[in-house]
Amino acid sequence: SITINAVVYTVASVRGDGKQITLTATAGVQTNVAYTATLALTARTGAFLDGYFIAARPDSKQFNISDLYEGLVWDPLEFGVKEGYPDNIASILADHEELWIFGDESTEVWRNTGNADFPFERDMSAFIHQGCVAWASPGRLNNGVAWLGGSQSGRITAWRAQGFMPVRISTHAVEQAWRSYSEVSDAIGFVYKLDGHEFWQLTFPAANATWEYDALTNLWHEKDSRDGAVYGRHRARCHGFTFGKHLVGDFDSGRIYEMSPTLYDDAASPIRRLRQAPHLSDEQLNHFFHRLQLDMETGSGVADPEMSLEWSDDGGHTWSTPITITAGALNDYKKRVIWRRLGKSRDRVFRVSSTAAIPHTWINALIDVTKGTS
């Protein structure tokens, strides 16, 4: 509908070039009327490929393209439809001259073939029976595409495409944690590269949690920020590398921060580092723990940084009171970080943590233990 002088008209026809319209109303037909109108194109995700701006409508199978190199001009007849499976478009992403169209339960790949009627056509050999469960999760990772997905068979799984073959990169433990969340469709993802590693950071706002995947080591870790005395989701909601810096946007304050391994606090709040060991158990016999040594870099940052050790003897349900020691003076590069006389247990889990403002290089942990007979 278009309103002219307080009269609401309906578009009856549009000329082929889109510059002339015919309107109808109860007052009669008006042709070639000068008009101004704002026709909104509703979209949830977008991309740019081969000079075209591309927008995907929410709760629809349709995606629209703009005029070539003209993001303000959209012909309503220039659209494509996800057609390989009867699910709606969840998200779109442009990567390696290809347009990835993620549905709720399946994924299609389209290419610019230069077709005169509509430039993008579906690659019939690139169909994936895994969809996207969180529209803001897809990202370009390690020369491929990663997303949080699922299908008719089940969800939630993190996938990375190897060619057009989805490869599962989430672990059973990580997926179990995600299943405990009340909502996962709100997950927000971005990718960044740092010190030779490529990371995919996923934040779950409703669950107040952030996870990060290292594509080099294929390992996951949790990432958090401190708000008062409470730890929750990481501050960074979005990321951009510019001016030679990794810049991230704070979801809470709207501020922009630099993210760097040489910055040892989180917007003036301490950063908690925590590493937990696997269970130490053998035939449910008592084990006597004489000492635990943390092999780490010492002598840098601040003097006498505090390192804490605690343990659980009941499978991680409860934890001991932390034992805190210091990692030595500045320039004391030979300092050894050792906890002694750690008691006995049939099933022990250790974990080390620190909020010290130092470069945290934890290489290994060494345990001196004697196996009992009962």
pLDDT of residue 328: 94
Q: What is the mean pLDDT of residues 285-314?
A: 96
Radius of gyration of the chain (CA): 28
Q: What pLDDT does 33 receive?
A: 63
Which strands, in side-by-side order, build the sheet including 349-354? 273-276, 349-354, 306-312, 323-326
- What average pLDDT does the segment 74-97 reach? 93
How much of the chain, in percent, has pLDDT values that exceed 70? 92
Region 163-171 average pLDDT: 94
pTM (two decimals): 0.84
Q: What is the pLDDT of residue 41?
A: 64
User: Is residue 24 pLDDT above 80, yes or no?
Assistant: no
End-to-end CA distance of the chain: 83
Question: Nearest Cα to 24, choosing from 6, 10, 8?
Answer: 10
